[in-house]
Amino acid sequence: MRKWSLDASFMIEFLSGNEKAAKLLENQEYDKLVIPSIALMEVKWSDKDIGKFDELEVKEFGKEEVEELLEIKEYLEKNSSIINKLDIMIAAQAVTSNSTVVTRDNDFQELEDYKDFQHINLDTEN
């Protein structure tokens, strides 16, 4: 099953009327969309009306995600990379749920070679 995990940066672009974001959701094949609880918090913090995404499953952050986060942190430290802590949490949720992060955030590029992590960047997607 191909599952996409929508990052806040992508959802905000979509909700702001970004045509490329709309086309990406419209034209790509996926079986399921999920929202990481961290991304949901970020979008709500931005005061965007998240109504269009209300029906999607919210992926909670639990013990399994904490363990994955620590592995990601170690990976980043070994590679002398630094990314936003919220993005590390979203990446951990994506890895534990076997989903691809759909984003506009370039921080996730630091994790391109991390085990089982996949992402699609709105700005680099054709």
The answer to whether position 73 is within a domain reads yes
Q: pLDDT tens, 63-85? A: 999 999 999 999 999 999 999 99
What pLDDT, on a 0 to 100 scale, did the predictor assign at position 126?
A: 58
d(CA 90, CA 69): 9
**What is the reported pLDDT for 28?**
78
Q: Are strands 100-103 and 119-121 parallel, antiparallel or unpaired?
A: parallel
What pLDDT, on the 0 to 100 scale, is given for residue 47?
76
Question: According to the model, what pLDDT value does residue 45 have?
Answer: 86
Which residues on adjacent β-strands are paired with residue 5?
34, 101
104-126 per-position pLDDT tens digit:
999 999 999 999 999 999 988 75
Return the CATH number at 110: 3.40.50.1010
pLDDT category of residue 55 using cuts at 50, 70 and 90: confident
Per the structure, the count of domains in the chain is: 1
CB atoms within 10 A of CB 107: 19
> Contact at 8 Å (CB) between 117 and 111?
yes
Domain extent for 15: 3-121
126 domain-assigned:
no
